[in-house]
Chain A
């Protein structure tokens, strides 16, 4: 029934559930396990940097080349074992076709799972591909979502414009009003969807508290952890069922590719995988290679982001033209106590409000020399944007005001530049106003 391992092109540990004499479901013996992966080393005791560099990365056996080779192929030679995997439903454990799985995707997924402390991961061609596949996998016809009322604009558009077409409804609730969140759950609610750190005002959500509500109400908790990668906080440890990332941001960290990722239990990630196949948001092997290279430096990048962000936030807080600064590690941040409890690293996102409204904010952007005026975040270079005409352009001005996004709000993704240089640049730009 089973072939020896040399014929297996994929995860050696993953085997057929069928053995001689199976007559009914109770005779089946296959249990879920972490992965799929080409390596099964336990990285749970390793530090973030060690896991980021080594977990999942494969040296080339044929040549001794260090690092994962690029398997730039769309398809794989098929044998009996792969045909069997399709027939019996374990095709995710074998190499068949790159949309199904590819060694570069697996290397990356193993690294992501190790960093998050999760059983399994999937990579996607964008963060929105990851969100769409996850949401559609975990919801049924007629389902209801309880979501944050401060969602990233792309997610809001998906929920607001696409979900109703599929008979799925959404209630939007203040992400820090836990009583309202619980009250919004209906009999048909299947999912709570929140962002760990909101965009742009950086409200820190208490994931443990959300997880407690989700468990009592028997619904799934999905957390978008894009602003807080695993080095900052492991969402699965906090109780999330699945954590989603736009990997175009901190995980890759170099503003040079578009990708998405999810991490969670093998059970739930296996549920999402068929939607990845159906919706087609697979990540190309070369993009996986770039993503893997970027991910290796996640821990040291996050340390640099935090150092520069905290210095700059502290400077801005004292500036007379700056009305308000949001950064979780500032003692003035409304969620500072929670941040102290749950964050290992405060990340690199800052929001601040400048006197003079959006006109003054636009003027400030023109005078800045280091931060580039661009949407996106999490790259090594500082990026600055105004929510009203970028990430939150899909909301009305009243909706933005209701969220607390006042005129003059600036979103700053602090890169890894030296804090002294960033402060000097903001100093000259503010003086020019």
Chain B
């Protein structure tokens, strides 16, 4: 019975093999890490991954804020005040969430500008651009719904004006305003509706679109810069 236990190296590999045999996740991970990308990709092509980092940061700080925040007109402002003034490192969590949104919008512009400059939206990558454009619009929606949650004077009045502006659209406008505010003016329901949109509805759609966007990037291959000197030769075909 001396061969009862396999050598330690084999034991360490067992859970990995177990997962691999049932899901193929290890092969998938290896494929993602060791796939080839163009030799001359540049620093300009790091903005997409930086955006994913910021998105993860926003989700993490957002979850931490949600542990203290109450979407009720009477207490919302008090909980923001508590997070900022009293909670341990609350100012840092809220500050990073607040300024992370600004940085995210700037990075989105730069990422989109880079894609434009490289002509990277051209065949067959049109769908990657379209998902990116929708992600951009949804991020603006995140900002609009998040702005009210602080529930200070500026948040309150800026949201009223913003919703009223929505209301100027013909036919759908007034209905949209009513749906957003849950009635003619900002109330308890408005705040919880904005909260639900801000932390459940839009982020879920955003997460799905980001996954699709990345899937397309991996499937179609990263675009090499348009000034690439590397030429396709007969021997490659």
| A and B pair up | no
Interface residues, chain A, with chain B CB atoms under 8 Å away: none
Interface residues, chain B, with chain A CB atoms under 8 Å away: none
